[in-house]
Every structure is written in structure tokens, then in C-alpha cells.
Structure 1
Amino acid sequence: MSFQIEFAHFWESVKESMSNYTFAKLTLAKTIGDTELKNIYMRPILVDDQVRISLIARYKTEEVESLHTLEEAFFMLSSYMNNPFLTALLFTTEHDLTFKLNKKRVGSIVEQAPTFKSASDVVLEMQEKGIVL
């Protein structure tokens, strides 16, 4: 698929923001049509001082949380791009990155000023404890 390479570049920015302790959150949004699945939110959590990725899938009537490694999260989220999501938004303290798929399903990355002034609480705790991905 034409967007997979661009999404992999986007994911490198996700990993970099986790390593640099600037990650705030990641959201998959803008679905194709009216779908049951509305959003997926990604946040890091610590389980026994091990970093896990919480993926919260928000459906019309419920939310379902699953825990993954960072690598597993990449494969999970990339499988949802183009089916049903067209946009992934990475919020960091340095900048916001938006991965978008256009009508021809070609991916692009747009950088904007940061929305968040501080990283997520878990990322700050990782930094405090010296936990590196």
C-alpha cells in the first residue's frame, strides 16, 4: 500500500517522542463513513516498571482497552489506517504531527505547533525513573 512507508516514518516520530520523553498522546480519528469504531487512543502505561502501550478503542456504545508492546501497537494501529481511519495525530511537547490519507490513499505528514505543554504523566514518570524504550 502506498501509505505504509509514510506511516512508518510517522511511527519513527512516535518512538522518538517516547525516547525523548516528549510524548503526550496519539489518536486515530476521521473514519471512512459511519463506523462503529469512532477513535483509538494510545497512551503509555507502566506495569511493574515496564512500558506497555494502552490502546483504547472507542466504539459507539463502549470502550475497549488492550495492552501491547510498542512494536505490537505499531502493527495494531497501522492495520486500522485506511480501514476505517484516515488520520493519526501525534501530540508531543515539541510539535504535533498529523498523518493524513487523501482520497487516493496517499499518506502525508503535517507538522504544527504543540498543543500540549507537558508530556503525559507516565512519560514524565518514565523519565524520573530512567526508563528508556
Structure 2
Amino acid sequence: MPYQDVFVLFWEHVKESVQEGRFAKLTMAKTIGKPNLKNIFVRPIYSDDDFKVLVKLRYQSKETEDEEFEFTLEEAFEYLKPYLKTSFSSVILFTTTKDITFKINKKGAASMSENGPTFKNVIQPKSDLE
């Protein structure tokens, strides 16, 4: 199955965890090559009327300031897709009940695996956008 299709299945776990209030964080890791971009973090912003996420791009270089964006969940999905296989080979979904890891190997095949939860609670990020 192409990695894009597996990522769509992975993203269904993300949406389900949001709907159930279990979404703690999402991290894009395992950079490909030696890019300046080190990680991308996605954290929840729960409010009374809607749900948004804070997407933070963290850079290796101290000269490059981290960037933050606020998106809906669907906007975040579209924003993150181009980074798959070009910048990152791993995405980890942290929920309060389990962690799910999405990986792309060197041949472009994707897989998902589950582990016990890293986070017990959902932590609201402090946004520089407020």
C-alpha cells in the first residue's frame, strides 16, 4: 500500500483521538538528510466552540527562529503531507490511551505500530499567536 494511503489511515486515528478528547501531541521526526528543519510538533488547542491545532516548526540552527501556525485539523493534514518522505520518515501520534507510530522505510513502504501511552493528560500549548 502506498505510504500516502497508510498516512490517510493514520490520520483517521488522529481525528478519532481529537473527537474523543485523547489527542495529546503529534511529532514529525527522523529527518531525511541534513535539513535545517529538526521537528514539527502539533498540539491541540481545545476551545468551547471549535478545535484547532498549533503547528510548530523547530529548526536545528539557533539563527532560524521556530515558526508557529494555527490550523484546523484538516488544514494541518494538508500542511503536513508534503513533509512526508521529503523531510521526515516518521510521525508519532501521542494520545492519552496509546501512541501510534507511522514510518516510511527507504523503499517508500509505510507501516503503523502501537505502543502504550507516553502522556496521561492533554496539555494545552502556550501560543505566541495569542
Coarse TM-score class (shorter-chain normalised): 0.7 to 0.9
SS of 1:73's partner is: helix
Code of the residue aligned with 1:80 in structure 2: it is Y
Q: Is the 8 A contact 1:88 1:99 kept in 2?
A: yes
Q: What runs of 5+ residues in structure 2 fail to find an aligned partner?
A: 126-130
**TM, length-normalised to structure 2:** 0.87
Q: Is the 8 A contact 2:46 2:124 kept in 1?
A: no
Q: Is the 8 A contact 1:23 1:120 kept in 2?
A: no
More helix by share: 1
Code of the residue aligned with 2:104 in structure 1: it is L
Shift of 1:53: 1.5
**TM, length-normalised to structure 1:** 0.85
Shift of 1:47: 6.4
Q: What runs of 5+ residues in structure 1 fail to find an aligned partner?
A: 123-133
Pick from 62, 67, 74: which aligns with 2:65? Answer: 62
Residue aligning to 1:125 = none
Pick from 60, 72, 77: which aligns with 1:74? Answer: 77
Partners of 1:59 and 1:47 lie apart in 2 by 29
Tell me the percent identity.
Answer: 49
Residue-by-residue CA offset, 1:34-84 (whole Å, 9 max, x unaligned): 101110000122468432211100112320001111111001111111110
Residue-by-residue CA offset, 1:85-133 (whole Å, 9 max, x unaligned): 00000001111000000010111001001111112347xxxxxxxxxxx
**Do residues 87 (structure 1) and 62 (structure 2) align?**
no
Q: Is the 8 A contact 2:92 2:99 kept in 1?
A: yes
Partners of 2:122 and 2:47 lie apart in 1 by 19
Partners of 2:81 and 2:105 lie apart in 1 by 16
Q: Output the aligned Cα RMSD.
A: 1.7
Residue aligning to 1:37 = 37
Pick from 103, 108, 122: which aligns with 1:100? Answer: 103
